[in-house]
Amino acid sequence: MTYQQQDQLKKLPIPDLQQTCTNYLKVLRPLQTDKEYKCTELAVKEFVEKHDNSPSIGAFLDDCLRKYAADKPSYIEQFWYDAYLNYDSPVVLNLNPFFLLEDDPFTQKETSAIDPQIKRATSLTLSSLKFIQALKKEKLSVDTLKNGKPLCMYQFTKLFGSSRIPTNDGCMMQSDPTSNHIVVMSKSQFYWFDVLDSNNNIIPPRSPT
């Protein structure tokens, strides 16, 4: 189910150059002073207009991009990898998103002996595992636009069990589709253990002994 419409997807279209420039100016207008915007307009005009009957820089680059994209389903994919994987500065904070969770309102008034943070982490882990299980068994529904057109689901293959590996020429993305474990960090210690079996079923917790 998850990848059933991959072969029917259309190639990512390259937007029209002139329309892109128009949109670019429209977005910048409220962000710039009149003087700054005038300079931007001149730069865009220089970019798209011909000079001495020669193609403009914009037209030349647009032609190169279309030739590059001729045999690719997505012209922007490799550029995206290059932008993120060849970035030499520290990844933490500069590239990796993070978020903080508010206290769970359903556990604030509980008097259980189990630490609320442990219960919250367990709940989030179990919910994530159900999603991963559906993905691995290809039972995840295809994402669609509002008009019902299907979206590419390939990116989900990189969502879990993936890591960036440093090399002399930037980093490379490595994914292991057979990965069935998670890593837990607690008090500066790392622990890992399997959470899915060989059939991608969730391993139930062991009873305390």
| pLDDT interval class at 179 (50, 70, 90) | very high
Residue of 113 and 194 predicted with greater confidence: 194
pLDDT band at 10 (very low <50, low <70, confident <90, very high): confident
What is the rounded CA–CA span in Å between residue 160 and residue 204?
20
- What fold characterizes domain 6-104+141-177? Fumarase C; Chain B, domain 1 (1.10.275)
69, 76, 74, 89: which is closest to 171 by C-alpha? 89
CA 180 to chain centre: 21
Which residue type is seen at 89? S
| Predicted confidence band of residue 116 (pLDDT cuts 50, 70, 90) | confident
- Does position 136 have pLDDT exceeding 50, yes or no? yes
Structural domain boundaries in the chain: 6-104+141-177
pLDDT score of 54 more than 90: no
